[in-house]
Amino acid sequence: MVPLNWYIGLSAVIFSLGIIGFLIRRNILIMLMSVELMLNAVNICLVACSHYLQDLRGQVLVVFIITVAAAEAAIGLAILVSLFRNKATVHTDALTEMKG
């Protein structure tokens, strides 16, 4: 039986990888993947806790998160494609239209 701590530790490591990847990588594709990583880290944590607490609400929440993540990936990739068509780059340093 794997103790709960391990699950939570794994979740924390994956979440940190996600954050660090999001912050330091300049490729939008990789950054989107990092966001997915963070979401799934949370999912692991939720499922583990759900099992530990014998409460199904955690798993229900996971289903919702997967749905949102799918939608997010679809929209994010669509934006990315049209961005690439206009700018011919996926490097975020070149995408500073929002600079004030």
Partner 1 sequence: MDQYTLLPLLPLAAFILNILFGRGIFKDKAHWIAIPAVAGSFVLAMAAFIGVLDGRVVNRDVYTWIVSGNFRVTVGFLIDQLTAIMLIVVTSVSLLVHIYAIGYMHKDKGYYRFFAYLSLFTFSMLMLVMSNNLLQLYFGWEAVGLCSYFLIGFWYEKKSASDAGKKAFIVNRFGDFGFGLGVIMIFLALGSLQYAEIFANVQSLQGRTISLFGYPVELVTVIALLLFCGAVGKSAQLPLHVWLPDAMEGPTPVSALIHAATMVTAGVFMVARFNPLFSMSETAMNTVALTGAITSLFAATIALVQNDIKRIIAYSTISQLGYMFLACGVGAYGAGVFHLFTHAYFKALLFLGAGSVMHAMSGGLDIRSMGGLKKYLPVTYWTFLIASLSIAGVPGLAGFFSKDEILWLAYNAGPVGKIAWMTGTIVAALTAFYSFRLIFLAFHGTFRGTHEQEHHLHESPRAMTVPLVSLAIGAVAAGWIGMPAVLGGSNWIGHFFEPVAGHPPVTATHGEEWMVMGISVASGAAGMLLSWVLYVRNPALPAWLAGRMKGIHTVLLNKYYVDELYDFLIIRPITWAAKNVLSATTDNKIIEGIVNGVPRGIRTIGERLRKLQTGYVQHYGIGMAIGLVVIMALALIAAGK
Residue 67 binds to partner 1 (criterion: CB under 8 A)? no
Helices (H), the chain: 4-24, 28-53, 57-87
Residue 53 tokens, joined: 């607490």
Q: 48, 7 in Cβ contact below 8 A?
A: yes
Q: What is the C-alpha to C-alpha distance for residues 78 and 51, in angstroms, rounded to an integer?
A: 36
Residues 17-46 binding partner 1 (CB under 8 A) are 19, 22-24, 26, 28, 31
Judged by beta carbon, residue 24 or residue 66, the one nearer partner 1 is 24
Judged by beta carbon, residue 59 or residue 76, the one nearer partner 1 is 76
Interface residues toward partner 1, by CB under 8 A: 19, 22-24, 26, 28, 31, 92-93, 95-100
